[in-house]
Amino acid sequence: MERKVKTPCVGVCSTVFGDQVCRGCKRFHHEVIEWNGYTDVQKETVWNRLESLKVLIMKSKIFIENQVLLQSKLDSLKISYYDKVDPYCWVFDLIKQASQSINDLSEFGLKPLFEPDVELVELKRLIEEELFTLSDAHYQRYFALEDNYRV
């Protein structure tokens, strides 16, 4: 199955304001600018990096107890997810898309690994912030020095 979404863009681009990492989609500024010229392999490399960070984040926050139930509930609620990636990416998408309407994660076959008084809306904010922080750290480690040499 091909990705339904052709770009990680979420329509909130901060690279136009000078950010090296987009606060919306978490791609690097050069990836945003050059995306339409990328090969499928280059695009998949970007997707894979973003997805691996999402898995890392979500595994520290939530445990998937029943993947079949999770997928069934996502389908029944028409929450979009890409079925070819790690199911923890599905959990990321669930929290991002439905944090205001979910009351009980166990209904999705999920077990929270965070304090019970943390609201899902707050969890959504925290995971977005953590994804940005990790993306920025990755950029600083592997690309920022390279940018300094281009000037």
Q: Give the tens place of pLDDT for each residue, 64-102.
A: 999 999 999 999 999 989 999 999 999 999 999 999 999
Kindly state whether residue 51 falls inside one of the protein's structural domains: yes
Q: Which residues contact 90 (CB under 8 A, 6 or more apart)?
A: 70, 71, 74, 81, 83
d(CA 32, CA 19): 11
Kindly state whether residue 8 falls inside one of the protein's structural domains: no
- For the stretch 94-117, pLDDT in tens is 999 999 999 899 999 999 999 888
Kindly state whether residue 2 falls inside one of the protein's structural domains: no
Whether 124 has a pLDDT exceeding 80, the answer reads: yes
Domain range for 128 is 40-150
Kindly state whether residue 25 falls inside one of the protein's structural domains: no
Angle between the N-to-C axes of helices 40-59 and 120-139, in degrees from 0 to 180, rounded to the nearest 10 = 130
Domains in the chain, number:
1
Kindly state whether residue 85 falls inside one of the protein's structural domains: yes
